[in-house]
Amino acid sequence: MKPIRTERLILRNWEDRDRELFHRINSDDRVMEFFPFRRDRAAADAKMDEFRAWVDEDGYGFAAAEIAATGECIGFVGLLATDDVPSLPADTIEIGWRLAPEFWGKGYVTEASEAWLAYGFETLAVDEIVSFAVAENHRSTAVMKRLGMTADPSSDFDHPSIPDSHPALKRHVLYRLSREDWQARKKAAG
């Protein structure tokens, strides 16, 4: 993957120096509030290696987000082909994120996501990008709205990977953004 630069961030593939942060965001109760699991170090290392391989193979994925001024990895933001949404075609492109809590509320996810949307619509030439989250995850849905995504209640779904032992986490809301709507929003912004 060729790194993507934004005003404050570098979006790049994962490096071994990111392992501690990756484990922390995948085991922190605040970050993982809407997930039914926490990853130990071995599981986090394996997942980071999986993410790195996806980025190597496809040129995009859930990539590391680094503060350009300090070189500090803060989490991930990226695009990924997903088969998790039963009502959508296989390999639908989703945008997703996960940051360490000390970096919440600073606009990093929105900034990085805007760059990834541009990549998806301009470079990958996809017609639509979706995002989804547990219905009660208002922080994530607020980002989706800031990105110009629109809720599609008819496509809300029970996530197939969430066990029945966690009923409050099963229901997911789906947001969509078409290339046409993204282009119109970009044109209106100037």
pLDDT digits (tens, 9 = 90+) for 111-155: 999 999 999 999 999 999 999 999 999 999 999 999 999 999 999
**Pairwise CA distance, residues 41 & 73, whole Å:** 17
pLDDT at 58: 82
For residue 84, pLDDT beyond 90: no
Phi, psi of 126 (to 5 degrees): -80, 155
The residue that leads in pLDDT, 1 or 94, is 94
**Mean pLDDT in residue range 61-69:** 97
pTM metric for this prediction: 0.94
Closest to 130 measured CA to CA, from 89, 175, 171: 175
Domain count, the chain: 1
- For the chain, the first-to-last Cα distance in angstroms comes to 29
CATH number of domain containing 155: 3.40.630.30
Least confident range from 48-57, 71-80, 83-92, 156-165: namely 83-92
pLDDT at 31: 92
pLDDT at 163: 87
Q: What is the pLDDT of residues 14-33, one digit of tens each?
A: 999 999 999 999 999 999 88
Residue-wise burial string across 20-34, b where 16 or more C-beta atoms lie within 10 A, e elsewhere: ebbbebbbeeebeeb
What confidence category does residue 7 fall into, taking pLDDT thresholds of 50, 70 and 90? Answer: very high
**Pairwise CA distance, residues 60 & 62, whole Å:** 7
Per the CB < 8 A criterion, the answer to whether 18 and 43 are in contact is no
User: The domain containing residue 100 runs over which residues?
Assistant: 4-189
For residue 95, pLDDT beyond 90: yes
For residue 105, pLDDT beyond 80: yes
What confidence category does residue 57 fall into, taking pLDDT thresholds of 50, 70 and 90? Answer: confident
